[in-house]
Structure 1
Amino acid sequence: MMILRPIQKSDYPALLNIAQESGHGFTSLPLNEELLQNKIERSMTSFAKETDVPFDEGYLFVLEDSETGEVVGTSAIEAAVGLDDAFYHYHLSKVIHSSRTLNVYKAVDILTLCNDYTGATELCTLFLKDKYRKGFNGKLLSKSRFMFINQHKTRFAETVIAEMRGVSDENGSSPFWKWLEEHFFSMDFPTADYLTGIGQKVFIAELMPKYPIYVNLLSKEAQAVVGEVHDNTRPAIELLKSEGFTFNGYVDIFDAGPTVEAKVDNIRTIRATQFFKVRVAEKLPAQTNGSPVLIANDKLAGYRATAVELDVPQGGEEITISAELANALQITEGDTVSIATL
C-alpha cells in the first residue's frame, strides 16, 4: 500500500536520492546537504506549530511503499510565499501600438517582472520515481495535498498556485534563460536555478531587467517556450487543470514555465470531499461497487492518506473500512476520514 505522510528526520537519505534523481530545473530540492536537512527540520516545525494564519510554514510530504518501506516520491505545500523573501514572476500581457494616421494597429506581448503572488499558497516539490509512475500514485501524491488543505484551511491562503517546470534540455539548458544570460547575466541556467533553490535571490533584483521585455525581441527559441512545460511535467499540469487550475499569464523568471492558480473552494477534489465516521471490520465483504478514492485522516503531524477502492455510501455518515486500512491511516473506530473520488 502506498501511504503519503509528513517527512521525518530518518527520511533524509531518501530525500537526497530524490534530489539527485530530479535533475535540473527542480529548484525546490537543491543538491545541498545542509539545505535538505533544513527543509526537513522546517517541515517538522511547521507540522508541530499551532497557527490559524498562513505565514512561512512549509509542509513536506513523502510517499512510502508500506510493503518495502521505500520512499518513492515527495510533494509539498508552502503556506504563503513571498512574505519573508521576494517571490518573482514575469506577467505576460499585451500593449497596443496604433496610429490612425498611418492606419497601423499592432498588439505586442510583453513580460513584466512582478510579485503578484505574494501571500499565495504554493504547491511544490512534486516528484515521483520513474518505476512508480503508474496506477494512482501520481494522483495520490498530488491530490492528497488538497485534502490536507481542506482539513486545515486556516493555515493556508485563499489562492493556491503551482509553478510548472519550463522547457530545458537534458543538460539543463533553457532557451529562455539563454537569451537572458546573453543580455543580462553571466551565469548558466543550472547555476541560477541552484542559487534560487538555496535562497540566494538577491541577484534577481540586482540584474533582472527592470522594464518590460517585448516578447518579439526574444530569440525565436525563447519565444517558443514562454508558457510551455517540460515534457516530464505534462501529466502534472493536466492533473491540475482537471482540478480547476488555470493559467493567467504568469511565467517563471528563469525558464518561462507557466504558473497555474485556483481558489481553494473551487478545487475539484476539495468540492467533492465527503467526511465519514469510521467503522473498522477485520475483514470486509467483496467490494462489488467499489471505485478508486483518496482517503485521509484528519490529523496534522500524524496526517496519512492513501488511494484505495471503496464502496462509498451516498448520503451516509459512516463508512466501514478494513483493519489493515485503518492501521495504515493510523485511525481507530469513531475517527473521521475524508474521501474524494480520483
Structure 2
Amino acid sequence: MSFRVRAANGEDFKSIYQMAKLTGGGFTNLPADRATLVGKLARSDASFARKEDTQGGDLYVFVLEDPKAKKIRGTCQVFGQVGVVQPFYSYHISNLTQSSPELGKTFRNQLLTLTTDLEGSSEVGGLFLHPESRAGGLGALLARSRYLFMKLHRQRFGERTLAELRGVMDEAGNAPFWDALAGRFFDMSFPEADEFNAVHGTRFIADLMPKTPIYVSLLAETGRAVMGLPHPTGRAALRMLEQEGFVFDRYIDIFDGGPTVTARTDDIRTIKEAREDAIVEIGDGGTHKVLAAAGRLKDFRACCASIKKMKTGVMIDAEAAELLEVGVGDTVTLVAR
C-alpha cells in the first residue's frame, strides 16, 4: 500500500477544499468555506510549530497521501483541547422519574440539558475519505494514525478524548433534530445554521437557546427518533470508534442530534497497544502486518507496514521505510493491524 498519513500544509488546501465540497454538509470540522479552511491550516501550522509539550487549544490537520501519484485522498483532524476559545456545548440525555400517589402512576421522562461537561477533552474529528478511496483499509489507516500521533505526543492531549459523529439528515440536507428543537428558536434552516457554526462556532446557540432542561416528549417524533443516531454514512466510523473503546455516554450534538462518544485517552486501543521498536534491517519485511508511525510534529508519518521481529529490533519492508522516511537505527511506533 503506497499511502501514508502526514501533517497537512498550505499546498494541500486545494485537495482539502475539494473533499470538503464532497461531504454533503453537516461536517462542522470540514466546511466547504475557503477562508475557514485557510484558517484551519494556518492554525494547524502553528500547532505543529509550538515547542511546549503541554495540552492547549491546538488543531492538527493531517492528509492521506499517495506520494508516487501525488494525490491527496483523505483528511482528518485532532484537537488538543476543546472549549478553549469558545464553550463546547452538548446536550446530555437524562432521565427524570416522577410519581403521583393520588393517581397511582409513575411517569418517566427524558430531559435534554445544555452542558459544557466535555470541556478540557481532546477531540478526533474531520475524518473524510475521497469516495474513490473507500476500500483497502485506508479508512482504518487514516483514523488510527490520529491515535499514533497522540501516542507520540501524549503530553499535548487530555485525559479524555471525544468524537462527534454527524447526525441524521435528509437528502436536502435538513436535520430532523434541528427542526424539532433549535429550529424553533432560530429563523434559519439547518444548512444555514451549520454553515454559520462551521465559521463562527456554537456561541450563538447558547446565546439564544433556553437554558432550562427540555422535555424530550415535547419534541416532534421525527426529532426524537434520530437522537443519538449517526448519519448512515457514519456508521462505519462509529464502529471503528467503538473498536477503539469509545462509548456513547448520552451526549449528543446540539445541532443535528448526532452521538458524541468518549474514551479515556490512555485506554484507546491503538494508544494502549502501540509499542516502540528500533529498525535493525530494511528488506522484504515479514508476516506481521502493522500500522507504523515515526517523526515528531510536522515530520509525523504513518503507513501500513510488514515487519519481522529480530533479536534487537525489527526488519521493516522497504516501501514502508520510504514512506516513513526512516532508516536503520531509527525508532518506529508499531501497532497490530
Normalising by structure 1, we get a TM-score of 0.95
* One-letter amino acid matched to 1:299: R
Q: How is 1:39-54 mapped onto 2 (pairs within 5 angstroms)?
A: 39-54=40-55
Q: How is 1:35-114 mapped onto 2 (pairs within 5 angstroms)?
A: 35-114=36-115
**Residues 91-136 of structure 1, C-alpha deviations (whole Å, 9 max, x = no match):** 0011111123322112111100011111100001000011211111
Q: How is 1:134-283 mapped onto 2 (pairs within 5 angstroms)?
A: 134-281=135-282, 283=283
In the TM superposition, residue 181 of structure 1 has moved relative to its aligned partner by: 4.7
Q: In structure 2, what is the Cα distance between the partners aligned to 1:311 and 1:132?
A: 28
Matching of residue 308 in structure 1 with residue 309 in structure 2: no
Paired residue for 1:324, among 319, 326, 330?
A: 319
Q: In structure 2, what is the Cα distance between the partners aligned to 1:204 and 1:164?
A: 19
In the TM superposition, residue 202 of structure 1 has moved relative to its aligned partner by: 3.3
In the TM superposition, residue 83 of structure 1 has moved relative to its aligned partner by: 1.4
Q: 1:335 to 1:265 in 2, by over 3 A?
A: same
Asked if the contact 2:29–2:198 (Cα under 8 Å) also holds between the matched residues in 1, the reply is yes
Asked if the contact 2:25–2:31 (Cα under 8 Å) also holds between the matched residues in 1, the reply is no
**SS of equivalent residue, structure 2 residue 117:** coil
Asked if the contact 1:120–1:158 (Cα under 8 Å) also holds between the matched residues in 2, the reply is yes
* One-letter amino acid matched to 2:315: T
Matching of residue 334 in structure 1 with residue 329 in structure 2: yes
Normalising by structure 2, we get a TM-score of 0.96
| RMSD across aligned positions (CA) | 1.4
Q: 1:294 to 1:312 in 2, by over 3 A?
A: farther
In the TM superposition, residue 291 of structure 1 has moved relative to its aligned partner by: 3.6
Identity of aligned residues (%): 38
**SS of equivalent residue, structure 1 residue 249:** strand
Q: In structure 1, what is the Cα distance between the partners aligned to 2:309 and 2:105?
A: 62
* One-letter amino acid matched to 2:125: C
In the TM superposition, residue 310 of structure 1 has moved relative to its aligned partner by: 3.2
Aligned to 1:293: 290
Aligned to 2:134: 133
* Alignment: residue pair count: 336
* One-letter amino acid matched to 2:230: V
Asked if the contact 1:181–1:188 (Cα under 8 Å) also holds between the matched residues in 2, the reply is no
Q: In structure 2, what is the Cα distance between the partners aligned to 1:195 and 1:86?
A: 16
Asked if the contact 1:91–1:111 (Cα under 8 Å) also holds between the matched residues in 2, the reply is yes
In the TM superposition, residue 10 of structure 1 has moved relative to its aligned partner by: 0.6
**Residues 256-299 of structure 1, C-alpha deviations (whole Å, 9 max, x = no match):** 00000000111111121121001233x327x3xx2431100142
* One-letter amino acid matched to 2:204: F
Aligned to 1:284: 284
* One-letter amino acid matched to 1:166: G
Q: In structure 2, what is the Cα distance between the partners aligned to 1:91 and 1:37?
A: 33
**Residues 204-252 of structure 1, C-alpha deviations (whole Å, 9 max, x = no match):** 1221121111111111110100000100000000001011100000000
**Residues 179-203 of structure 1, C-alpha deviations (whole Å, 9 max, x = no match):** 1255211100011111111124332
Asked if the contact 1:119–1:157 (Cα under 8 Å) also holds between the matched residues in 2, the reply is yes
**SS of equivalent residue, structure 1 residue 87:** coil
Aligned to 1:18: 19
In the TM superposition, residue 308 of structure 1 has moved relative to its aligned partner by: 2.8
Q: In structure 2, what is the Cα distance between the partners aligned to 1:116 and 1:83?
A: 13
* One-letter amino acid matched to 2:300: Y
Q: In structure 1, what is the Cα distance between the partners aligned to 2:56 and 2:113?
A: 26
